Amino acid sequence: MKNTALKTSGVIFLLLASAQLARFILNVQVTAGTFLVPVWLSAVVAVALFALAFWMFQSTAK
């Protein structure tokens, strides 16, 4: 059961990381209220999410 939860989390993190990377590559503008979210922030978030996904998948291998 624990491995299933870790794999599911890994897949979700991987999907979110891919979406953030796509936003960075395609230079999609996102506005939250009146605040324009910087595109470079998506690259930082993508790296963090890829690291979390890697961590989840590594945890299932043990």
What is the pLDDT, as a whole number, of residue 58?
95
What is the pLDDT, as a whole number, of residue 20?
97
Q: What is the mean pLDDT of each run of 10 residues along the chain (62 residues)?
A: 91 97 96 95 97 95 76
Q: pTM (2 decimals)?
A: 0.89
Number of H helices, E strands in the chain: 2, 2
What are the structural domain ranges in the chain? 2-61
Spatial distance between the Cα atoms of 12 and 24, rounded to a whole number of angstroms? 19
